[in-house]
Chain A
Protein backbone atom coordinates (compact mmCIF):
# COMPACT_ATOMS: atom_id res chain seq x y z
CA UNK A 1 0.00 0.00 0.00
CA UNK A 2 1.44 3.31 -1.02
CA UNK A 3 1.48 6.60 0.88
CA UNK A 4 -1.33 7.98 -1.26
CA UNK A 5 -3.60 5.04 -0.49
CA UNK A 6 -2.91 5.36 3.23
CA UNK A 7 -3.57 9.09 3.17
CA UNK A 8 -6.92 8.67 1.43
CA UNK A 9 -7.92 5.87 3.79
CA UNK A 10 -7.00 8.12 6.70
CA UNK A 11 -9.04 10.92 5.12
CA UNK A 12 -12.03 8.60 5.05
CA UNK A 13 -11.63 7.75 8.74
CA UNK A 14 -11.01 11.35 9.83
CA UNK A 15 -13.52 13.26 7.71
CA UNK A 16 -15.83 10.72 6.05
CA UNK A 17 -14.73 11.79 2.56
CA UNK A 18 -14.61 8.36 0.99
CA UNK A 19 -12.52 8.31 -2.18
CA UNK A 20 -12.70 4.53 -2.32
CA UNK A 21 -11.76 4.65 -6.00
CA UNK A 22 -8.23 5.73 -5.03
CA UNK A 23 -7.32 3.44 -2.15
CA UNK A 24 -9.35 0.37 -3.08
CA UNK A 25 -7.24 -1.47 -5.66
CA UNK A 26 -10.18 -3.39 -7.13
CA UNK A 27 -12.27 -0.25 -7.67
CA UNK A 28 -9.28 1.68 -8.93
CA UNK A 29 -8.60 -0.95 -11.59
CA UNK A 30 -12.27 -0.96 -12.56
CA UNK A 31 -12.41 2.82 -12.83
CA UNK A 32 -9.19 3.08 -14.85
CA UNK A 33 -10.62 0.46 -17.17
CA UNK A 34 -13.75 2.61 -17.46
CA UNK A 35 -11.69 5.64 -18.43
CA UNK A 36 -9.83 3.57 -21.03
CA UNK A 37 -13.16 2.42 -22.48
CA UNK A 38 -14.33 6.05 -22.65
CA UNK A 39 -11.14 6.97 -24.54
CA UNK A 40 -11.54 3.99 -26.87
CA UNK A 41 -15.14 4.98 -27.55
CA UNK A 42 -14.05 8.54 -28.33
CA UNK A 43 -11.22 7.48 -30.65
CA UNK A 44 -13.30 4.92 -32.56
CA UNK A 45 -16.24 7.30 -32.83
CA UNK A 46 -13.92 10.03 -34.08
CA UNK A 47 -12.46 7.76 -36.77
CA UNK A 48 -15.95 6.54 -37.67
CA UNK A 49 -17.36 10.06 -37.90
CA UNK A 50 -14.44 11.14 -40.12
CA UNK A 51 -15.09 8.16 -42.38
CA UNK A 52 -18.84 8.82 -42.59
CA UNK A 53 -18.34 12.57 -42.99
CA UNK A 54 -15.64 12.05 -45.64
CA UNK A 55 -17.88 9.69 -47.60
CA UNK A 56 -20.73 12.21 -47.45
CA UNK A 57 -18.37 14.93 -48.66
CA UNK A 58 -17.29 12.78 -51.64
CA UNK A 59 -20.88 11.87 -52.53
CA UNK A 60 -21.79 15.56 -52.43
CA UNK A 61 -19.20 16.20 -55.14
CA UNK A 62 -20.97 13.77 -57.48
CA UNK A 63 -23.21 14.90 -60.32
CA UNK A 64 -26.03 12.49 -59.42
CA UNK A 65 -28.59 14.72 -57.78
CA UNK A 66 -30.62 12.05 -55.86
CA UNK A 67 -27.39 10.90 -54.20
CA UNK A 68 -26.68 14.44 -53.01
CA UNK A 69 -30.25 14.75 -51.70
CA UNK A 70 -29.85 11.49 -49.86
CA UNK A 71 -26.77 12.85 -48.09
CA UNK A 72 -28.60 16.07 -47.21
CA UNK A 73 -31.51 14.12 -45.73
CA UNK A 74 -29.11 12.01 -43.68
CA UNK A 75 -27.13 15.02 -42.46
CA UNK A 76 -30.19 17.07 -41.49
CA UNK A 77 -31.88 14.17 -39.74
CA UNK A 78 -28.90 13.24 -37.61
CA UNK A 79 -27.99 16.83 -36.80
CA UNK A 80 -31.49 17.69 -35.63
CA UNK A 81 -32.43 14.73 -33.43
CA UNK A 82 -31.04 13.89 -29.97
CA UNK A 83 -28.08 11.54 -29.87
CA UNK A 84 -29.66 9.54 -27.06
CA UNK A 85 -32.84 8.99 -29.08
CA UNK A 86 -30.70 7.87 -32.01
CA UNK A 87 -28.83 5.47 -29.76
CA UNK A 88 -32.05 3.99 -28.36
CA UNK A 89 -33.46 3.70 -31.87
CA UNK A 90 -30.33 1.87 -33.02
CA UNK A 91 -29.84 -0.32 -29.98
CA UNK A 92 -33.38 -1.18 -28.93
CA UNK A 93 -35.13 -0.62 -32.27
CA UNK A 94 -32.85 -1.72 -35.11
CA UNK A 95 -30.82 -3.92 -32.79
CA UNK A 96 -33.73 -6.04 -31.60
CA UNK A 97 -35.56 -5.97 -34.93
CA UNK A 98 -32.62 -7.48 -36.81
CA UNK A 99 -31.46 -9.38 -33.71
CA UNK A 100 -28.13 -7.58 -33.56
CA UNK A 101 -28.30 -6.66 -29.89
CA UNK A 102 -30.34 -9.57 -28.50
CA UNK A 103 -29.67 -13.23 -27.98
CA UNK A 104 -30.96 -15.43 -30.81
CA UNK A 105 -33.82 -17.94 -30.37
CA UNK A 106 -31.39 -20.79 -29.68
CA UNK A 107 -29.05 -18.71 -27.52
CA UNK A 108 -26.64 -17.34 -30.13
CA UNK A 109 -24.72 -14.39 -28.71
CA UNK A 110 -25.62 -10.92 -30.08
CA UNK A 111 -23.81 -9.87 -33.25
CA UNK A 112 -22.86 -6.44 -31.95
CA UNK A 113 -21.89 -5.47 -28.41
CA UNK A 114 -23.28 -2.32 -26.73
CA UNK A 115 -19.79 -0.83 -27.15
CA UNK A 116 -20.02 -1.30 -30.91
CA UNK A 117 -23.52 0.17 -30.95
CA UNK A 118 -22.29 3.32 -29.22
CA UNK A 119 -19.42 3.61 -31.71
CA UNK A 120 -21.85 3.21 -34.63
CA UNK A 121 -24.36 5.63 -33.09
CA UNK A 122 -21.78 8.34 -32.36
CA UNK A 123 -20.15 7.83 -35.78
CA UNK A 124 -23.47 8.35 -37.52
CA UNK A 125 -24.40 11.35 -35.39
CA UNK A 126 -21.06 13.13 -35.58
CA UNK A 127 -20.48 11.99 -39.17
CA UNK A 128 -23.34 14.31 -40.07
CA UNK A 129 -21.57 17.17 -38.30
CA UNK A 130 -18.24 16.32 -39.97
CA UNK A 131 -19.99 16.33 -43.37
CA UNK A 132 -21.16 19.90 -42.72
CA UNK A 133 -17.74 20.98 -41.43
CA UNK A 134 -15.96 19.60 -44.49
CA UNK A 135 -18.53 21.22 -46.78
CA UNK A 136 -17.97 24.66 -45.31
CA UNK A 137 -14.22 23.98 -45.47
CA UNK A 138 -14.51 23.29 -49.19
CA UNK A 139 -16.65 26.39 -49.66
CA UNK A 140 -13.93 28.43 -47.94
CA UNK A 141 -11.34 27.48 -50.57
CA UNK A 142 -11.08 30.57 -52.82
CA UNK A 143 -12.61 30.18 -56.30
CA UNK A 144 -9.44 31.58 -57.82
CA UNK A 145 -7.46 28.68 -56.36
CA UNK A 146 -9.83 26.16 -57.92
CA UNK A 147 -9.67 27.98 -61.26
CA UNK A 148 -5.88 28.14 -61.09
CA UNK A 149 -5.80 24.38 -60.54
CA UNK A 150 -8.09 23.88 -63.53
CA UNK A 151 -6.00 26.10 -65.78
CA UNK A 152 -2.94 24.10 -64.77
CA UNK A 153 -4.67 21.07 -66.29
CA UNK A 154 -5.95 19.35 -63.14
CA UNK A 155 -9.08 17.32 -63.81
CA UNK A 156 -11.88 17.74 -61.22
CA UNK A 157 -10.92 14.64 -59.21
CA UNK A 158 -7.24 15.54 -59.02
CA UNK A 159 -8.02 19.15 -58.22
CA UNK A 160 -10.20 17.89 -55.38
CA UNK A 161 -7.56 15.62 -53.88
CA UNK A 162 -4.41 17.65 -54.54
CA UNK A 163 -5.60 21.24 -54.16
CA UNK A 164 -9.05 21.67 -52.61
CA UNK A 165 -9.08 18.99 -49.90
CA UNK A 166 -5.66 19.75 -48.37
CA UNK A 167 -6.69 23.39 -47.99
CA UNK A 168 -10.24 22.60 -46.88
CA UNK A 169 -8.99 20.13 -44.29
CA UNK A 170 -6.76 22.74 -42.73
CA UNK A 171 -9.50 25.37 -42.51
CA UNK A 172 -11.78 22.72 -41.02
CA UNK A 173 -9.35 21.71 -38.29
CA UNK A 174 -10.60 24.00 -35.49
CA UNK A 175 -14.19 22.89 -36.14
CA UNK A 176 -13.08 19.25 -36.28
CA UNK A 177 -11.34 19.79 -32.94
CA UNK A 178 -14.59 21.10 -31.45
CA UNK A 179 -16.30 18.06 -32.87
CA UNK A 180 -13.77 15.80 -31.17
CA UNK A 181 -14.49 17.55 -27.87
CA UNK A 182 -18.23 16.99 -28.38
CA UNK A 183 -17.57 13.31 -29.05
CA UNK A 184 -15.52 12.94 -25.85
CA UNK A 185 -18.40 14.45 -23.86
CA UNK A 186 -20.99 12.33 -25.66
CA UNK A 187 -19.28 9.07 -24.73
CA UNK A 188 -20.94 9.50 -21.31
CA UNK A 189 -24.17 8.60 -23.15
CA UNK A 190 -22.90 5.00 -23.37
CA UNK A 191 -24.01 4.78 -19.73
CA UNK A 192 -27.58 4.45 -21.01
CA UNK A 193 -26.97 1.07 -22.63
CA UNK A 194 -24.67 -0.26 -19.92
CA UNK A 195 -21.25 0.13 -21.51
CA UNK A 196 -18.88 0.09 -18.51
CA UNK A 197 -17.25 3.49 -19.22
CA UNK A 198 -16.22 6.01 -16.54
CA UNK A 199 -19.69 7.25 -15.58
CA UNK A 200 -21.14 3.73 -15.46
CA UNK A 201 -18.33 2.42 -13.27
CA UNK A 202 -18.66 5.45 -11.01
CA UNK A 203 -22.36 4.68 -10.65
CA UNK A 204 -21.52 1.10 -9.66
CA UNK A 205 -19.02 2.35 -7.09
CA UNK A 206 -21.32 4.90 -5.49
CA UNK A 207 -24.22 2.46 -5.22
CA UNK A 208 -21.88 0.29 -3.16
CA UNK A 209 -20.33 2.94 -0.88
CA UNK A 210 -22.91 5.77 -0.99
CA UNK A 211 -20.07 8.16 -1.84
CA UNK A 212 -22.00 9.99 -4.58
CA UNK A 213 -20.44 13.41 -3.97
CA UNK A 214 -16.87 12.12 -4.09
CA UNK A 215 -17.45 9.97 -7.18
CA UNK A 216 -19.29 12.73 -9.06
CA UNK A 217 -16.32 15.02 -8.51
CA UNK A 218 -13.90 12.30 -9.64
CA UNK A 219 -15.98 11.76 -12.79
CA UNK A 220 -16.15 15.48 -13.53
CA UNK A 221 -12.40 15.89 -13.11
CA UNK A 222 -11.80 12.82 -15.27
CA UNK A 223 -13.79 14.27 -18.15
CA UNK A 224 -12.18 17.70 -17.80
CA UNK A 225 -8.78 15.96 -17.92
CA UNK A 226 -9.75 13.97 -21.02
CA UNK A 227 -11.02 17.14 -22.70
CA UNK A 228 -7.75 18.88 -21.86
CA UNK A 229 -5.70 16.11 -23.44
CA UNK A 230 -7.78 15.99 -26.63
CA UNK A 231 -7.81 19.79 -26.99
CA UNK A 232 -4.02 19.76 -26.69
CA UNK A 233 -3.69 17.11 -29.40
CA UNK A 234 -5.87 19.16 -31.76
CA UNK A 235 -3.85 22.31 -31.00
CA UNK A 236 -0.61 20.46 -31.83
CA UNK A 237 -2.14 19.07 -35.02
CA UNK A 238 -3.22 22.57 -36.06
CA UNK A 239 0.29 23.90 -35.54
CA UNK A 240 1.80 20.99 -37.45
CA UNK A 241 -0.53 21.40 -40.47
CA UNK A 242 -0.41 25.20 -40.45
CA UNK A 243 -0.45 26.78 -43.93
CA UNK A 244 2.23 29.47 -44.11
CA UNK A 245 0.72 32.88 -44.77
CA UNK A 246 -2.80 32.02 -43.60
CA UNK A 247 -3.99 33.46 -40.33
CA UNK A 248 -1.58 34.26 -37.56
Chain B
Protein backbone atom coordinates (compact mmCIF):
# COMPACT_ATOMS: atom_id res chain seq x y z
CA UNK B 1 0.00 0.00 0.00
CA UNK B 2 2.79 2.35 0.91
CA UNK B 3 4.38 1.78 -2.48
CA UNK B 4 1.16 2.92 -4.12
CA UNK B 5 0.90 6.07 -2.00
CA UNK B 6 4.56 6.82 -2.66
CA UNK B 7 3.90 6.95 -6.37
CA UNK B 8 1.32 9.70 -5.95
CA UNK B 9 3.00 11.44 -3.00
CA UNK B 10 3.88 15.13 -3.42
CA UNK B 11 7.22 15.43 -5.19
CA UNK B 12 6.96 12.02 -6.85
CA UNK B 13 7.32 11.72 -10.60
CA UNK B 14 3.58 11.27 -11.08
CA UNK B 15 2.69 14.21 -8.85
CA UNK B 16 5.03 16.36 -10.93
CA UNK B 17 3.57 15.12 -14.21
CA UNK B 18 -0.08 15.45 -13.17
CA UNK B 19 -0.44 19.24 -13.71
CA UNK B 20 1.02 18.81 -17.20
CA UNK B 21 -1.54 16.16 -18.13
CA UNK B 22 -4.08 18.52 -19.82
CA UNK B 23 -1.30 19.90 -22.03
CA UNK B 24 -0.14 16.41 -22.99
CA UNK B 25 -3.72 15.37 -23.82
CA UNK B 26 -4.13 18.53 -25.91
CA UNK B 27 -0.96 17.62 -27.79
CA UNK B 28 -2.29 14.15 -28.38
CA UNK B 29 -5.48 15.75 -29.69
CA UNK B 30 -3.39 17.42 -32.39
CA UNK B 31 -1.96 14.00 -33.29
CA UNK B 32 -5.50 12.67 -33.71
CA UNK B 33 -6.53 15.69 -35.78
CA UNK B 34 -3.51 15.27 -38.07
CA UNK B 35 -4.18 11.55 -38.42
CA UNK B 36 -7.89 12.03 -39.20
CA UNK B 37 -7.35 14.77 -41.79
CA UNK B 38 -4.50 12.99 -43.54
CA UNK B 39 -6.51 9.76 -43.56
CA UNK B 40 -9.47 11.49 -45.25
CA UNK B 41 -7.26 13.22 -47.83
CA UNK B 42 -5.22 10.04 -48.29
CA UNK B 43 -8.40 8.04 -48.91
CA UNK B 44 -9.45 10.50 -51.64
CA UNK B 45 -6.00 10.36 -53.26
CA UNK B 46 -5.77 6.59 -52.87
CA UNK B 47 -9.22 5.80 -54.27
CA UNK B 48 -8.40 7.98 -57.26
CA UNK B 49 -5.02 6.29 -57.80
CA UNK B 50 -6.45 2.82 -57.14
CA UNK B 51 -9.25 3.37 -59.61
CA UNK B 52 -6.74 4.59 -62.20
CA UNK B 53 -4.64 1.48 -61.58
CA UNK B 54 -7.60 -0.61 -62.69
CA UNK B 55 -8.10 1.40 -65.90
CA UNK B 56 -8.12 -0.41 -69.24
CA UNK B 57 -5.82 2.04 -70.99
CA UNK B 58 -2.12 2.01 -70.18
CA UNK B 59 -1.87 5.79 -70.39
CA UNK B 60 -3.94 6.04 -67.21
CA UNK B 61 -2.79 2.80 -65.60
CA UNK B 62 1.00 3.20 -65.74
CA UNK B 63 1.34 6.67 -64.18
CA UNK B 64 -0.97 5.54 -61.36
CA UNK B 65 1.06 2.37 -60.86
CA UNK B 66 4.29 4.37 -60.79
CA UNK B 67 2.96 6.93 -58.32
CA UNK B 68 1.59 4.19 -56.07
CA UNK B 69 4.93 2.40 -55.91
CA UNK B 70 6.74 5.70 -55.44
CA UNK B 71 4.49 6.80 -52.56
CA UNK B 72 4.61 3.40 -50.86
CA UNK B 73 8.36 2.95 -51.08
CA UNK B 74 9.50 6.32 -49.77
CA UNK B 75 10.19 6.57 -46.04
CA UNK B 76 7.46 8.53 -44.24
CA UNK B 77 10.05 10.64 -42.49
CA UNK B 78 11.77 11.62 -45.75
CA UNK B 79 8.41 12.63 -47.24
CA UNK B 80 7.74 14.60 -44.06
CA UNK B 81 11.02 16.51 -44.53
CA UNK B 82 10.29 16.96 -48.21
CA UNK B 83 6.90 18.56 -47.67
CA UNK B 84 8.01 20.57 -44.62
CA UNK B 85 10.94 22.20 -46.38
CA UNK B 86 9.60 22.56 -49.89
CA UNK B 87 6.14 23.95 -49.22
CA UNK B 88 6.12 27.69 -48.53
CA UNK B 89 5.13 28.69 -45.01
CA UNK B 90 2.97 31.49 -46.38
CA UNK B 91 1.21 32.15 -49.67
CA UNK B 92 0.24 35.47 -51.22
CA UNK B 93 -3.35 35.31 -52.39
CA UNK B 94 -3.98 38.64 -54.13
CA UNK B 95 -3.30 41.07 -51.28
CA UNK B 96 -3.81 38.51 -48.51
CA UNK B 97 -0.99 36.72 -46.80
CA UNK B 98 -2.07 33.20 -45.91
CA UNK B 99 0.12 31.48 -43.35
CA UNK B 100 0.25 27.69 -43.54
CA UNK B 101 0.66 26.28 -40.02
CA UNK B 102 3.23 23.50 -39.83
CA UNK B 103 0.69 20.91 -38.68
CA UNK B 104 -1.24 21.40 -41.95
CA UNK B 105 1.97 20.60 -43.78
CA UNK B 106 2.31 17.48 -41.62
CA UNK B 107 -1.20 16.49 -42.75
CA UNK B 108 -0.21 16.93 -46.40
CA UNK B 109 3.02 14.99 -45.83
CA UNK B 110 1.19 12.02 -44.34
CA UNK B 111 -1.45 12.15 -47.08
CA UNK B 112 1.12 11.07 -49.68
CA UNK B 113 2.14 7.65 -48.30
CA UNK B 114 -1.45 7.02 -47.14
CA UNK B 115 -2.61 7.62 -50.72
CA UNK B 116 -0.09 5.04 -51.95
CA UNK B 117 -1.20 2.41 -49.44
CA UNK B 118 -4.93 3.05 -50.04
CA UNK B 119 -4.33 2.75 -53.77
CA UNK B 120 -2.97 -0.77 -53.28
CA UNK B 121 -5.80 -1.68 -50.89
CA UNK B 122 -8.35 -0.53 -53.47
CA UNK B 123 -6.62 -2.46 -56.23
CA UNK B 124 -6.42 -5.61 -54.09
CA UNK B 125 -10.06 -5.24 -53.05
CA UNK B 126 -11.33 -4.81 -56.59
CA UNK B 127 -9.21 -7.72 -57.78
CA UNK B 128 -10.62 -9.97 -55.05
CA UNK B 129 -14.04 -9.84 -56.74
CA UNK B 130 -14.23 -12.56 -59.42
CA UNK B 131 -14.20 -11.39 -63.05
CA UNK B 132 -17.45 -13.25 -63.62
CA UNK B 133 -19.20 -10.68 -61.40
CA UNK B 134 -18.19 -7.92 -63.84
CA UNK B 135 -19.32 -10.01 -66.78
CA UNK B 136 -22.63 -10.96 -65.15
CA UNK B 137 -23.31 -7.30 -64.35
CA UNK B 138 -22.50 -6.39 -67.94
CA UNK B 139 -24.88 -9.08 -69.19
CA UNK B 140 -27.60 -7.61 -66.96
CA UNK B 141 -27.04 -4.23 -68.68
CA UNK B 142 -25.37 -2.44 -65.79
CA UNK B 143 -23.09 0.36 -66.99
CA UNK B 144 -19.44 0.48 -65.84
CA UNK B 145 -20.14 3.02 -63.09
CA UNK B 146 -23.23 1.36 -61.68
CA UNK B 147 -21.50 -2.05 -61.87
CA UNK B 148 -18.70 -0.64 -59.75
CA UNK B 149 -20.99 1.09 -57.25
CA UNK B 150 -23.78 -1.49 -56.93
CA UNK B 151 -22.10 -4.84 -57.58
CA UNK B 152 -18.35 -4.73 -57.09
CA UNK B 153 -17.83 -2.26 -54.26
CA UNK B 154 -20.27 -3.85 -51.79
CA UNK B 155 -18.28 -7.07 -52.13
CA UNK B 156 -14.86 -5.44 -52.22
CA UNK B 157 -15.47 -3.31 -49.14
CA UNK B 158 -15.28 -6.37 -46.88
CA UNK B 159 -11.85 -7.01 -48.29
CA UNK B 160 -10.77 -3.38 -48.03
CA UNK B 161 -12.05 -2.18 -44.65
CA UNK B 162 -9.79 -4.20 -42.28
CA UNK B 163 -6.52 -3.20 -44.01
CA UNK B 164 -7.74 0.40 -44.15
CA UNK B 165 -8.29 0.34 -40.39
CA UNK B 166 -4.82 -1.09 -39.89
CA UNK B 167 -3.48 1.67 -42.11
CA UNK B 168 -5.24 4.23 -39.94
CA UNK B 169 -3.44 2.74 -36.92
CA UNK B 170 -0.13 3.21 -38.75
CA UNK B 171 -1.08 6.80 -39.59
CA UNK B 172 -1.84 7.62 -35.95
CA UNK B 173 1.52 6.20 -34.98
CA UNK B 174 3.25 8.06 -37.82
CA UNK B 175 1.95 11.42 -36.59
CA UNK B 176 4.71 11.24 -33.99
CA UNK B 177 7.19 11.82 -36.85
CA UNK B 178 5.90 15.40 -36.97
CA UNK B 179 7.84 15.87 -33.74
CA UNK B 180 11.14 15.74 -35.64
CA UNK B 181 10.11 18.69 -37.80
CA UNK B 182 8.89 20.69 -34.81
CA UNK B 183 5.10 20.39 -34.84
CA UNK B 184 3.67 20.88 -31.32
CA UNK B 185 2.31 17.35 -31.03
CA UNK B 186 2.43 15.10 -27.99
CA UNK B 187 6.09 14.09 -28.25
CA UNK B 188 7.28 17.66 -28.76
CA UNK B 189 5.22 18.77 -25.78
CA UNK B 190 6.69 15.94 -23.72
CA UNK B 191 10.17 17.14 -24.65
CA UNK B 192 9.26 20.69 -23.67
CA UNK B 193 7.91 19.50 -20.31
CA UNK B 194 11.09 17.52 -19.74
CA UNK B 195 13.25 20.55 -20.41
CA UNK B 196 11.09 22.65 -18.04
CA UNK B 197 11.04 20.14 -15.20
CA UNK B 198 14.72 19.41 -14.82
CA UNK B 199 14.34 16.08 -13.11
CA UNK B 200 16.15 13.11 -14.57
CA UNK B 201 13.70 10.66 -12.94
CA UNK B 202 10.89 12.19 -14.97
CA UNK B 203 12.11 11.14 -18.41
CA UNK B 204 11.04 7.52 -18.12
CA UNK B 205 7.43 8.09 -16.95
CA UNK B 206 6.95 11.04 -19.34
CA UNK B 207 7.87 9.05 -22.44
CA UNK B 208 6.03 6.07 -20.97
CA UNK B 209 2.91 8.24 -20.85
CA UNK B 210 3.07 9.01 -24.58
CA UNK B 211 3.48 5.30 -25.33
CA UNK B 212 0.44 4.49 -23.17
CA UNK B 213 -1.65 7.22 -24.85
CA UNK B 214 -0.88 5.91 -28.32
CA UNK B 215 -1.47 2.32 -27.24
CA UNK B 216 -4.81 3.13 -25.60
CA UNK B 217 -6.05 4.72 -28.82
CA UNK B 218 -4.56 2.39 -31.42
CA UNK B 219 -4.99 -1.02 -29.80
CA UNK B 220 -8.84 -1.10 -29.78
CA UNK B 221 -8.92 -0.11 -33.45
CA UNK B 222 -6.46 -2.80 -34.45
CA UNK B 223 -8.41 -5.38 -32.39
CA UNK B 224 -11.62 -4.39 -34.18
CA UNK B 225 -9.86 -4.64 -37.56
CA UNK B 226 -8.67 -8.13 -36.70
CA UNK B 227 -12.15 -9.21 -35.62
CA UNK B 228 -13.77 -7.84 -38.79
CA UNK B 229 -11.16 -9.57 -40.89
CA UNK B 230 -11.94 -12.91 -39.24
CA UNK B 231 -15.71 -12.54 -39.33
CA UNK B 232 -15.86 -11.43 -42.94
CA UNK B 233 -13.46 -14.09 -44.10
CA UNK B 234 -15.73 -16.76 -42.68
CA UNK B 235 -18.78 -15.05 -44.14
CA UNK B 236 -17.27 -15.13 -47.62
CA UNK B 237 -16.78 -18.89 -47.72
In the bound complex, residues from chain B placing their C-beta under 8 Å from that of A93 are: 203-204, 206-208
In the bound complex, residues from chain A placing their C-beta under 8 Å from that of B173 are: 80-83
Q: B218 at interface (Cβ–Cβ under 8 A)?
A: yes
A32 to B218, CA, bound (A): 38
Number of B positions contacting A (CB below 8 A): 35
Give A193-227 as 1s and 0s: 1 = Cβ < 8 Å from B's Cβ atoms.
Answer: 00000010000000000001100100110011001
Q: A92 at interface (Cβ–Cβ under 8 A)?
A: yes
Q: A67 at interface (Cβ–Cβ under 8 A)?
A: no
List residues 64-90 of chain B with CB under 8 A from any CB of chain A: 70, 73-78, 81-82, 85-86
Shortest Cβ distance from A186 into chain B, in angstroms?
Answer: 7
Q: B23 at interface (Cβ–Cβ under 8 A)?
A: no
Interchain CB contact (< 8 A) of A223 among B74, B203, B207, B214: B74
In the bound complex, residues from chain A placing their C-beta under 8 Å from that of B77 are: 185, 188-189, 191, 199
Number of A positions contacting B (CB below 8 A): 35
Residue of B nearest to A192 (CB): B180
A201 to B180, CA, bound (A): 15
A83 to B218, CA, bound (A): 13
Q: A76-B219, A223-B75 are contacts. A82–B176 as well, Cβ < 8 Å?
A: yes
Q: B210 at interface (Cβ–Cβ under 8 A)?
A: yes
B211 and A213 contacting across the interface, CB-CB below 8 Å: no
Binding site for A on B (CB under 8 A): 70, 73-78, 81-82, 85-86, 169, 173-177, 179-180, 187, 194, 200-201, 203-204, 206-208, 210-211, 214-215, 218-219, 222
Binding site for B on A (CB under 8 A): 76-77, 79-86, 88-89, 92-94, 96-97, 181, 184-189, 191-192, 199, 212-213, 216, 219-220, 223-224, 227
A-B pairs, top 9 by smallest CB distance, nearest first, are A82-B173, A185-B75, A82-B176, A93-B204, A89-B207, A188-B77, A188-B75, A80-B218, A93-B207
Question: Can you show 23 pairs from A to B with CB atoms below 8 A apart?
Answer: A76-B219, A77-B211, A80-B215, A81-B211, A81-B214, A81-B218, A82-B176, A84-B179, A84-B187, A85-B187, A85-B210, A85-B214, A89-B210, A96-B200, A97-B200, A185-B73, A185-B77, A188-B76, A188-B78, A191-B77, A216-B81, A216-B82, A220-B82
